[in-house]
Structure 1
């Protein structure tokens, strides 16, 4: 078999909760049957934590601080690698991009009612993993040309749920 250059896509999503423990979720035009964590595709050369910061702001109007990674998931059929973060609310009010997002709001969600909101099983497992994470995995972004330079690091701080 001849070697083929991989053509995977990388996406990011983040769990953000309010003071009441409600989760910020949204529905998109192309997946209106389910709620999901805000996120989207990583641009070429963009660090993952910068991508989730940008995507979250674009989709919800909310500024977040990514804390660390709660899970990594792979859609083999579509060749999409999804990285989920836990993030802390910093500022802003919900303001959606109507051409992409149908609705965004904080929802009180747990294992007993998750099926009422999240209809797609891969979205349910990602949210539950993020909600139940006992630790958050650190993340580093490096630049390797001409020398290895650490651009930034998320420590994976669990004190800020």
Structure 2
């Protein structure tokens, strides 16, 4: 390969690799969902509602997991120099009102229906991240159970 410098070549290689991984994800699971934190906020909203029907430790665990899901849009907003508290609150309100496609539009610095402006991501990416998160939480909780039983 030839290029102006090795940094440019490395970045080009990384970008091509990312594009190929997206194609592979779409081949394995050909579904797209909104990006911009919309799925995480939607799931957080549903889990928070479900947690209200639970009690004790179960309620606490579900509520905390729901709160952790909000870290993705919060961090996304923060990394873009936006006000994360304000935007995540707007996202929560939109999803509570039933607007499940609303997420962060970082170009405008606002929340909007991301499907309408074609900001989407492969479903497999979110599924994998969520599965790994849940497995990690489960492992941590099991360690606590083991320590408490000793």
Structure number with greater Rg is 2
TM-score computed with the length of structure 1 as normaliser: 0.27
Structure with bigger helix share is 2
